[in-house]
Amino acid sequence: MSVVETARPTHPLSPAEAWRFTADHAAEAAFFFDFDGVLSPVTDDPDASQPTPSALGVLEELAGVVAKVAIVSARPVSFLRTRFAALSHVDLYGLYGLEVWHEGEVITEPAALPWVPTMADLAQRARTELPAGTLVEYKRLSVALHYRTAPQLGDVVDRWANDQAERVGLRVQGGRMVAELKPPVDQDKGMVITEGIRNAGCAWYFGDDMSDLKAFDALRARAAVDPAFFGMCVAVANPETGAEVSTAADLTLESPDAVAAFLAEGLRGFRPAR
């Protein structure tokens, strides 16, 4: 079936139908993935997170048959590069898009750079002022305050984060057992996807957390104004934010291993790599 003959599918639809349309439009298809909880299991220590072994090969194979594959994460690009150094055709969007790794170059949002000293100061304050059990992750352009190993600290951490955001003029991004302080710069996963699908006719987004809902919204917004565009929102289940994310998705998978297996199965319907 030719690209011209293939009508855009409408939801609800089966995974097989979605893959069939995507394979027929591979030259204009884009795939975006969150990292933690999607390509890697969530860990108590953020530095210990690694992509599932099966994910690396399948992402490289996918990048060989579609127009774009990208990872969109709250992690810095420097972290993502250590995990995906072997992938030569996958773009990396770090810190919700404040950093981008594309074709061997890191591009940082200029408006965020003046906030680097503020973030360093906040990280030090957090280590001093927050109770034991809070894991402070300094990311240069943001500070994430994790309480996964001490969930009883959630209210304390959230209150401290909001107080600091009001004091300094920052934004707070909530997530799975984490509160993250970010510069007051308009950049989020939804904006990354809106720009990333500008020339796409078909796009998939795989996410597991509240910040991924904006990416889902970006796909739906494009489909609402472009009858030829097809978007697929995929949730990866988790016991913390999974119900709300799954409700917003077109399809739910049970784990990062299931994501890799789902991609491998879908790729069987593609033509050989270009």
- What is the identity of the amino acid at 147? Y
Nearest to 66 by CA among 232, 245, 221, 222: 232
Which residue in 24, 34, 212, 250 is the catalytic one?
34
Nearest to 160 by CA among 105, 123, 112, 115: 123
- Helix, strand, coil share (%) of the chain residues, nearest 5: 45, 20, 35
Give the single-character DSSP code of 26: G
Give ∠ CA 257-262-266 in degrees, rounded to 5.
150
Is 36 annotated in the active site?
no
126-131-129-167 Cα dihedral, nearest 10 degrees: 70
Catalytic residues: 34
